[in-house]
C-alpha cells in the first residue's frame, strides 16, 4: 500500500515548562483524565519519555492521525518532539476503491472480448468501474485537507495536555 499513497506527516516540537523528563511525565499523567468532552485524547506516556497519542471522537467511526514522539531534556527545559502521522485506513480506502475500479474495468473489457454484443455484465461492470473510480478520486482529493485539519486539532490538544510554554518558539 505504501507504493500507492505516501503517508502524510507533520513534525512537531513542543517546548514544555518542566525541567526534567520525569517531571513532565508526572505532570502529564496527573492532567490526563481531567479533559473530557466530545474529543478525548488517548495518551500513553512511558517513564522513559516515549509518548503516543491520538484523538478519540465520540460517535464517529474514522481513524484520526496519531502522534509518536519522545520527551527530550535540553538546557532550556524539556521539549516534546515527534511526528503526527496519517492513519493507515485513511490511505487504504482510496487505494481500495481505485483497485476495485480497475478490477471492474478489466472485467468489462473481458465481457466485450468474450461477447461483442452488449450484455448485462458489461453494463454493470462499466457503471461500477466509473462509480468506484469517482469515489476513489474523491477520497484521494479529500485526504490532504482532512489530514491538515485533524493534525492541527491534535497538535492543539497535545499543547493543551502538556501545558506547553506559549512564549518559547517551537521549531524542529
Indicate the SS3 state at residue 81: strand
59 three-state secondary structure: coil
How does DSSP classify residue 164?
A: B
* Positive/negative CA dihedral, 34, 35, 41, 45: negative
pLDDT category of residue 38 using cuts at 50, 70 and 90: low
**Assigned C-alpha cell, 94:** 482510496
Residues 6+ apart with CB under 8 A from 84: 9, 10, 12, 65, 66, 67, 151, 154, 155
Q: 71: which DSSP letter?
A: E
What's the pLDDT tens digit per position in 83-112?
A: 999 888 888 888 899 999 999 999 988 888
| pLDDT for position 69 | 92
Angle value at C-alpha 63, between 13 and 65, nearest 5 degrees? 10
pTM value is 0.76
Task: Examine the pLDDT at 172 and tell me if it is beyond 50.
Answer: no
Distance separating alpha carbons of residues 161 and 152, to the nearest angstrom: 14
d(CA 80, CA 74): 11
SS3 per residue for 9-57? EEEEEEEECCCCHHHHHHHHHHHCCCCCCCEEEEEEECCCCEEEEEEEE
pLDDT at 75: 80
pLDDT tens-digit map of 139-153 = 888 888 888 988 888
pLDDT of residue 132: 95
Does the pLDDT of residue 1 top 80, yes or no?
Answer: no
For the chain, domain boundaries: 9-87
Amino acid at each position: 500500500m505504501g507504493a500507492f499513497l505516501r503517508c502524510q506527516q507533520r513534525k512537531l516540537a513542543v517546548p514544555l515548562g518542566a525541567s526534567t523528563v520525569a517531571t513532565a511525565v508526572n505532570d502529564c499523567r496527573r492532567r490526563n483524565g481531567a479533559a473530557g468532552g466530545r474529543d478525548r485524547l488517548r495518551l500513553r506516556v512511558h517513564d522513559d519519555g516515549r509518548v503516543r497519542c491520538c484523538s478519540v471522537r465520540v460517535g464517529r467511526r474514522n481513524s484520526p492521525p496519531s502522534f509518536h514522539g519522545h520527551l527530550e531534556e535540553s538546557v532550556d527545559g524539556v521539549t516534546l518532539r515527534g511526528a503526527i502521522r496519517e492513519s493507515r485506513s485513511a490511505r487504504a480506502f482510496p487505494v481500495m476503491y481505485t483497485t476495485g475500479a480497475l478490477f471492474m474495468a478489466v472485467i468489462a473489457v473481458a465481457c466485450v472480448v468474450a461477447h461483442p454484443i452488449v450484455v448485462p455484465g458489461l453494463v454493470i461492470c462499466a457503471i461500477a468501474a466509473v462509480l468506484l473510480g469517482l469515489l476513489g478520486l474523491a477520497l484521494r482529493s479529500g485526504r490532504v485537507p482532512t489530514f491538515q485539519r485533524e493534525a492541527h486539532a491534535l497538535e492543539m490538544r497535545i499543547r493543551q495536555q502538556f501545558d506547553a510554554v506559549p512564549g518559547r518558539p517551537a521549531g524542529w
